[in-house]
Amino acid sequence: MRYEELISILSVAEKLKCNTRHADTSSGRRESVAEHSWRLALMAMLLEDEFPDTDINKVIKMCLIHDLGEAFTGDIPTFDKTDEDSRKEEKLFQKWVAGFPKPQKEQFSSLLEEMEELETKEARLYKALDKLEAVIQHNEGDIASWLPLEYDLQLTYGTKEVKFSPYLMGLKEYINNQTREKIRKEASKGHHK
C-alpha cells in the first residue's frame, strides 16, 4: 500500500475518534465511535477461548471496521436509525472501500458482505458482541443520561443476537442483572424517569 493511500484511509477513519455515540463513559463524557470499536475488538480477543471453533482474528477485523461508515454519517442511535439511514451509511462505506487498493478492497468487501449476511459463526459473534458492548457501556455511564425508553431497551437489546450461544446468553443475563441493579439503585433515590 502506498503511503498516501494509507494516510488517506486513516484520515477518514480518524473521524470515528471525533464522532460520538449515544452513550456516556464512566467519566461522564460522550463515548466516541472509535472507542466503541476498540473495546468491541478487545471483547472478541478476550473471548477467544470461549469460541475455539471461531476465527477470532476475523471477528476482530469485523469489530474494527463495522462502524467505519459512521465516518460519513455520524452515529445514529439504534432507536432513531431508519432503514434508509442504514442504506445510506452502507452505500457511502462501500463507495469509499471501492477506492481502496485491490487487496484491501477485496478484504473489506468480503468482510462487509459476510457481516451483512450474518450466516457465519464469526459474523454472528461480532454482531452479538456489538450489541452487548453498547449495553455494558450504558451501564457504566450515569443513568441520568438515559432516555426513558432505554430502561427497557437495556434489558432487551441484543437478546436475539446472543441466542446462538449459551455463553453469550449467560453473559447477557449477567449484564441484565447489572442493569436491574442500576435501575433499582436509581429508583431507591426517587429519580427514575
C-beta separation of 73 from 12 below 8 A: no
Count the alpha carbons within 13 Å of 164 in the hemisphere toward its beta carbon: 15
Q: Provide the pLDDT for residue 104.
A: 96
Contacts of 153 (CB under 8 A, 6+ apart): 78, 79
pLDDT by 10-residue block (mean), the chain, 193 residues: 94 95 93 97 98 98 96 89 90 93 96 96 98 96 92 96 98 98 88 51
Map out the domains of the chain as residue ranges. 3-188
Strand partners, 32: 20
Per-residue model confidence (pLDDT) at position 191? 54
Class of domain 3-188: mainly alpha
**Cα–Cα distance between 16 and 121 in angstroms, integer?**
27
Count the helix, strand and coil residues of the chain and give each as a percent rounded to the nearest 5.
70, 5, 25
67 burial type by CB count under 10 A (0-12 exposed, 13-18 middle, 19+ buried): buried
